[in-house]
Chain A
Amino acid sequence: MKIVHYINQFFGQIGGEEKADYPFEVREKIVGPGMMLNSLLAEENSIVATIICGDNYFTDHTDEVSEKIKQTLRDYQADMLVAGPAFNAGRYGMACGGACKAAHEMGLIAVSGMFEENPGLELYRKYGYIFPTVNNARGMRDAMKTIAEFINKIASEGEQYDYLKEGYFRRGLRKNIWTDSNGAHRAVNLALAKVRGEEFETELEMPKFSRVEPSAAIKDLSKAKIAVLTTCGPVPEGNPDRIEAHAATKWRIYKEDDFGEDMTGSEIAHGGYTPVFGTHNGNRVVPVDAMKRLAKEGIIGELDENIYVTVGNSMPVTRAADFGKEIAQSLKDSNVQGAILTSA
């Protein structure tokens, strides 16, 4: 495995707090604690480059540094990123977490080490295998030994999803694995355990959903600009932006004209309900005609020209939340006071 190692200005032997603004740098060699790590790795695994970045520089230029980390991982065709370990250094922990996130977003493995109270852990745990360390660098050898053993293991056996056995902090991600018996048999086992009053463990803990506070009521609807949003997936003929039928990865703004006369040029991209009724009749799923009538009658001030479209079918909640934030910003930028969201 080719590994890129991320460290801060201190471990990169640039300097202490006074050098925390040290900018992003890549060295095609092994630096500082990387020496120890590399010596503990199996022959086929090695550090191919080291990234050094000041902790403050990372915080102040997160987007830029993240992009450069990704570019470095690409340049060196890396399989993995190791960050730190950061022990209990807060800003370093945040930077190591951010570096793990960059690697994770590229589909690469990220490994780090942190003290359990490092704030970087809570924010970034899902992006990498973060192992517990003591709260200071005296634990370097133990930390590197653990990290190296884990790297050697996943290099030969593939990723390891039993966090209790491996010892890394639970990432909170769901992963498919094969088990010894089918779901039906496991379900009957669970039912019997419950009846007998035995201990049982659910395979799926109930998700906790965040609640959104509704905004205050619109004072005068007759002066308000209202937008229409839909997760029903009406798209112009031919689905030019190729919005996916399931777990869509994008939302788009269309104008009424994009859908042809009276929305008769619409198609349905949504894969979770029959498209028959919305095809060539976009008003059935996003009520542009009714909203225009309300505007004409003076019940609403005006209809926003932007029609916000995505497909809600099997949409992961985290992605939906991201879309929501982006769309809300766009609505604010267009001075929209209210919106109607239709869903399938």
Chain B
Amino acid sequence: MKNMKLQLEYVRIDDLRFGQKTEIQDHILYVNKAEAIAELSCKEFSSIDLDIANPGDSVRIIPVKDAIEPRIKVDSKGFFPGFLDGFDSVGEGTTRVLQGCCVITTGNIVCFQEGIIDMSGPGAEYSIYAHMHNLVLIAEPAEGLSAEKHEEAVRLAGIRLAHYLAKASLEAEIDDSEAFELAETDEKLPRVAYVNLVLAQGLLHDNYIYGSDAKHLQTMLMHPNEMMDGAIVSGNCVTASDKNTTYDHENNPVIRDLYARHGKDLTFAGVISSPTCTMLAEKERGVMSIVSNARLLQADAIVVTEEGGGNPEADIMLIAERAEAAGIKTVLVVHENAGDDGSSEPLANSSPAADAVVSAGNNNEFVLLPPMDKTIGHLEAANVLAGGISDALKDDGSVLVRLAVIMDATSNLGITNLRAVTY
């Protein structure tokens, strides 16, 4: 029993509707709106509402804070250890997943640090969430609520709502199941570790690992199954393309890829999650610890993903230098700010050691999003979103924005097939 084994049981959701009872029937998730809202009621909100956005709808959700995939542990009936659950079966046992379904949280928290999801049209091509059945939380803050308290309230409401939905999966038939276990491999296979940088800059650029603010945590070694079991919850209010959502942490594509190739092309050596802080000494401490852990794992190579942009490029370049010096082959995944026409230097920092970099696309490119029949949230936020321009919102309701405002379009985790090339 030394090896950890996690069974993910998928319940496929093909449609999302409000109904009398929160339940899943024939792949349709019905939500009792009044009951769901009652679950979320707290003094921090003056009003709470829920809305539905299905793929293909002429709907724009703005400003988006976070996206969360509903999951639940079959044994404990909880999830998000440290928030809504204890730690007894993290990374093992059975977890139910509402596949194709997401909770989207919104709100004018730090308005220009949130994002857009278009459920159809050109914007939908750039966002994975456009292809999911989304239950959108619209909660207005009580008068006088500070931005920090507002963020916390929306974060907690988001994971509670996801957990509430996931409970319905316990009564449903599963469609598919997948086991995640790092079985023994041929020792000749190259050992690859994943370095997961987690933004911890303070001032609402924060994430929570097992319920704790990552600013107060040190670099930690993780089993990849922990990530799938809700170890990290996003508390980020940062430019849309700069944040890795809670959904992204649950479904981290690097972990998925390394797992898929474990025992075939490589040995998945483990996950090193490390807070990205703003102070140089903290960065140096983090980099030391990342490389030290990678050596302990006897990693031949590491894949490093950035969260944020600009400041964290100090961390990734330092990691490349130290890891390469220790003989560990290093690959970085980043998005770029190469200017509107691609003529600018794409990163804020560089190093000759960073000789293998994957581009997740140029944030600064413009895309014109045509008007949608319905807006969930506050459309006027388009003029102030980070990545919008001051006259982004046109008279006809279309918005001219940089890709940076579209949730996950240029995700630093390498979620989409987008990249930038030099031509």
* A316/B338 contact (C-beta < 8 A), A195-B300, A246-B404, A274-B147 known: yes
B423 touches A161 (CB 8 A): yes
Assembled-state Cα–Cα distance A181/B331 (Å): 16
Whether A204 pairs with B359 at a CB distance below 8 angstroms is yes
Q: Does residue B420 face the partner (Cβ distance < 8 Å to A)?
A: yes
CB B260 to nearest CB in A, in angstroms, measures 9
As a 0/1 sequence over residues 220 to 257 of chain B, the CB contacts with chain A under 8 angstroms (1 = contact) are 00000000000000000111000000000000111011
**What's the least CB distance linking A106 to chain B, in Å?**
11
Binds A, one of B78-86, B161-169, B344-352: B344-352
Contact of B190 (CB < 8 Å), options: A163, A176, A192, A247? A192
List 28 A-B pairs, Cβ < 8 Å. A173-B338, A173-B341, A174-B362, A175-B422, A176-B419, A177-B420, A178-B417, A181-B417, A185-B257, A188-B331, A191-B301, A191-B356, A195-B300, A200-B356, A204-B357, A207-B350, A209-B350, A242-B390, A245-B112, A246-B388, A247-B340, A271-B112, A271-B385, A272-B113, A273-B201, A315-B337, A316-B343, A318-B339
Q: For A273, what are the chain B residues with a Cβ–Cβ distance below 8 Å? A: 201, 203, 205
A316 touches B357 (CB 8 A): no
A317 to B344, CA, bound (A): 6
**What chain A residues lie within 8 Å of B416 (beta carbons)?**
182-183
The answer, yes or no, to whether A293 is at the interface (CB within 8 Å) is no
Q: Does B297 contact A (CB under 8 A)?
A: no
Indicate if the CB atoms of A176 and B418 lie closer than 8 Å.
yes
Cα–Cα distance between A271 and B334 once the two chains are bound (Å): 19
Q: Which residues of B contact A (CB under 8 A)?
A: 110, 112-113, 146-148, 190, 192, 201, 203-205, 237-239, 252-254, 256-258, 261, 265-266, 300-303, 305, 309-310, 329-331, 333-334, 336-347, 350-352, 354-365, 383-391, 402-404, 411, 413-423
- Distance in Å: Cβ of B134 to nearest Cβ of chain A: 21
CB proximity of A65 to chain B, nearest CB, Å: 22
> Across the interface, do A186 and B309 meet the contact criterion of CB distance under 8 Å?
no
Which of A126, A184, A190, A314 is the one whose CB lies under 8 Å from B356? A190
Q: Pick the residue among B256, B329, B359, B404 that contacts A314 (CB under 8 A).
A: B404
Whether a CB of chain B sits under 8 angstroms from the CB of A203 is: yes
A180 at the interface (CB under 8 A from B): yes
How many residues of chain A are within 8 Å of chain B by beta carbon?
61
**Distance of A196 Cα from B189 Cα, bound (Å):** 10
In the complex, A305→B257 CA distance in Å? 57
A203 touches B358 (CB 8 A): yes
A188 to B47, CA, bound (A): 45
| Cross-chain contact B386 with A177 (CB below 8 angstroms) | no
Q: How far is the CA of A169 from the CA of B115 in the complex (A)?
A: 37
A184 touches B329 (CB 8 A): no
**Max chain B Cβ within 10 angstroms of own Cβ: one of A200, A204, A247:** A204
Whether B239 contacts A104 by the Cβ 8 Å rule is no
In chain B, what residue has the closest Cβ to A241? B390
Contact residues of A: prevailing secondary structure: loop
Inter-chain contact A187/B329, CB cutoff 8 Å: no
Q: Is A211 an interface residue (CB 8 A)?
A: no
Q: Bound state CA distance, A117 and B48, in angstroms?
A: 67
Cα separation A177 to B410 with both chains bound (whole Å): 12
Interface contact B423-A170, CB-CB below 8 Å? yes
Question: What is the bound-complex CA distance between A208 and B346, given in angstroms?
Answer: 10
In the complex, besides A194-B356, A244-B388, A272-B386, 11 extra interface pairs with C-beta distance below 8 angstroms are: A163-B423, A177-B418, A179-B419, A185-B257, A191-B331, A202-B356, A204-B334, A246-B388, A246-B402, A273-B205, A314-B363
A184 near B339 (CB under 8 angstroms)?
no
Q: Quick check: is A249 within 8 A (CB to CB) of the other chain? A: yes
Report A325 CB to chain B, min CB distance, Å. Answer: 15
Q: Is the CB of A313 within 8 A of B386?
A: yes
Q: Is there contact, CB below 8 Å, between B417 and A180?
A: yes
**In chain A between 150 and 181, which residues have their CB closer than 8 angstroms to a CB of chain B?**
161-163, 170-181
Is A204 touching B341 in the complex (CB atoms < 8 A)? Answer: no
A208 to B344, alpha carbons, bound, how many Å? 11
A184 with B386, Cβ < 8 A, contacts A171-B423, A174-B421, A207-B347 known = no
Assembled-state Cα–Cα distance A29/B230 (Å): 68
In the complex, the answer to whether B346 meets A188 with C-beta atoms within 8 Å is: no
Residues in A neighbouring B258, C-beta threshold 8 A? 188
In angstroms, Cα B339 to Cα A247, docked, is 8
Contact of B386 among A182, A183, A314 (CB under 8 A): A314
Question: CB < 8 Å: which of B204, B329, B350, B390 contacts A274?
Answer: B204
Check A175–B423 contact: CB distance below 8 A.
Answer: yes
CB–CB B419/A207 < 8 A: no
Question: Do B388 and A184 touch across chains, with their CB atoms under 8 A apart?
Answer: no
- What is the bound-complex CA distance between A39 and B256, given in angstroms? 55
Which of A177, A183, A209, A274 has its CB near the most chain B CB atoms (within 10 A)?
A183
Q: How far is the CA of A205 from the CA of B363 in the complex (A)?
A: 17
Please, which residue of chain B has its CB at the minimum distance from the CB of A180?
Answer: B417
Chain B CB within 8 A of A23 CB? no
- Tell me whether B420 and A314 are in contact (CB under 8 A): no
Q: Given the complex, which residues of B lie within 8 Å of A244, measured CB to CB?
A: 388-390
Q: How far is the CB of B300 from chain A (nearest CB, A)?
A: 5
Q: Which residues of B contact A218 (CB under 8 A)?
A: none
Q: Which residue of A lies closest to B193 (CB)?
A: A191
Is A252 part of the binding interface, using a Cβ–Cβ cutoff of 8 Å?
no
Report yes or no: A247 in contact with B364, Cβ–Cβ below 8 A.
yes
The one of B147, B359, B364 that contacts A203, using a Cβ cutoff of 8 Å? B359
